[in-house]
Amino acid sequence: MKNKVIAVAMVGILVSGGLSSAATLSPTFNLVRRTTGYQTSEMVKEQVGFNTIEAKLTANSIQSQIDNLEELDDKGFVRFGMEQEVPLRISLMSAAGNLNHSVKVMDLTHQNTTYSVYLGLRDLYMGLYRSHEDYQIKMETEAFKKDLYELEMEKFRLGRISEVELMLSEAEMEEAGVDRLEALNQYRTMLETFNQFIHNDNLYEEYTYALEEPQLMDLQGVDFYVARALANRVEMVDVVGKAELENEKKVYYESEDGRFLRSELITEDYEDQLDEVFKAMVALEETEEAITLEIMRAYDEVLIARGNVLTLKETLDEQTQRLENLSLQKDLGYVTESTYREVALSIDNLRMNYNLAVMSYNTTLYRFLFASNTGPAY
């Protein structure tokens, strides 16, 4: 035990420098904008503009080739037959289709990145809140154990307890000190991680924490959220766009009453295109199935998390009422101060767990609502 106390105390010396304090903190989208993840996504969004210009130049170049070849064919300088025209038309369709498709997907991806960073921020915020509250409770527990030890010391002097009982009390006090130092180290680690995440150069700046109320919204049936996800998720936009483009190219090969397919070379390309259509449809069906199962599972998790919050709230209310009754009994001399403080500490821990359950439920709900729209995936 003493070796453990010394070891942790040495670490505590390294991390126990002054902690500065700041304003009330809550996880918001304004805070998201300070993170590296968001700033990187903004740079990617800017890159989309350059990619769009490049794609337009490619499409214009292909169209220019077609126009020039048609002009030369009209003048009799070259023969611009369908075996030359069809591949160019297909390339032009790919360039134009990929341009529109990519811009739409990139816009949704940028939006989803913002949501992903927000959810990550919430997770870090919960970890920071937990470590802060745990440290506060561990400090109160250590103070309680010290006071108990002083009482036990007095009893020992009066001969009312044995030396073994006194030693047990001392061991509990030392253990509480170890727990406090471990909690302090964990708290400072979380402070450093969180402040790095939001680009706060003061890595050990402390905060007061805004507590949340559970967002007990009335959910619609799960089929509603499945349908919405299948219509809006970026993965669906991606595979649907690709499937539509591959099908458009297939339809072009089959146009003009199948005239193009009289060419053996074009028929070979057409058969390859049929393979691409098949693969695109398989990808579409697999994505639909995966998203459907994901949303159904996420829906159940929201309901479970909500139930946990309501159960904990009921327990917390009961225990808080018990503490109030215990306070009256203490004032009347029926309950000792030590008993009251011990129960109060256990309720502090329960309150922390309730607040964490609320944050976790809200995060689960937000994650589900994002996943059942454009994303990101749950």
**pLDDT score, position 224:** 97
Neighbours of 344 (CB within 10 A): 16
* C-alpha–C-alpha distance, residues 375 and 171, integer Å: 52
Q: Tokens 């559970």 correspond to what residue?
A: 214
Average pLDDT along the chain: 85
Q: Which ranges constitute the DSSP H helices of the chain? A: 2-15, 29-32, 36-74, 82-157, 163-197, 222-232, 234-258, 264-331, 337-371
The whole-model pTM stands at 0.80
**pLDDT score, position 79:** 58
Query: How many whole angstroms from its chain centre is CA 243?
Result: 30
pLDDT digits (tens, 9 = 90+) for 232-252: 999 999 999 999 999 998 998
- Whether 48 has a pLDDT exceeding 80, the answer reads no
In this structure, of 76-80, 274-278, 347-351, the range with the lowest mean pLDDT score is 76-80
Assign 17 a pLDDT band (cuts: 50, 70, 90): very low
The CA distances from residue 300 to 15, 119, 244, 304, 370, in Å, are: 42, 19, 33, 6, 15
**pLDDT score, position 4:** 38
**pLDDT score, position 36:** 77
The CA distances from residue 142 to 59, 137, 187, 341, in Å, are: 72, 9, 16, 12
pLDDT digits (tens, 9 = 90+) for 2-15: 343 323 332 332 33
Classify each residue of 109-137 as buried b or exposed e, where b means 16 or more C-beta atoms within 10 Å of its C-beta: bbbbbbbbbbbebbebbbbbbbbbbbbeb
**pLDDT score, position 6:** 29
Q: Quick check: helix, strand or coil at residue 23? A: strand
- Whether 192 has a pLDDT exceeding 50, the answer reads yes
pLDDT digits (tens, 9 = 90+) for 291-336: 999 999 999 999 999 999 999 999 999 999 999 999 999 999 999 9
- Whether 16 has a pLDDT exceeding 50, the answer reads no
**pLDDT score, position 8:** 34
pLDDT digits (tens, 9 = 90+) for 142-163: 999 999 999 999 999 999 999 9
Mean pLDDT of 337-364: 95
What pairing do the DSSP bridges indicate for beta strands 206-209 and 21-25? parallel
* C-alpha–C-alpha distance, residues 258 and 246, integer Å: 17
Better-scored residue on pLDDT, 71 or 223: 223
User: Is the separation of the CB atoms in 15 and 188 below 8 Å?
Assistant: yes
pLDDT digits (tens, 9 = 90+) for 87-131: 888 887 787 777 777 778 888 888 888 899 999 999 999 999 999
* C-alpha–C-alpha distance, residues 99 and 59, integer Å: 9
**pLDDT score, position 7:** 32
pLDDT digits (tens, 9 = 90+) for 254-297: 888 888 888 888 899 999 999 999 999 999 999 999 999 999 99
Assign 54 a pLDDT band (cuts: 50, 70, 90): low
What residue spans define the domains of the chain?
33-204, 219-378
Mean pLDDT of 221-236: 96
pLDDT above 90 covers a percentage of the chain that reads 59
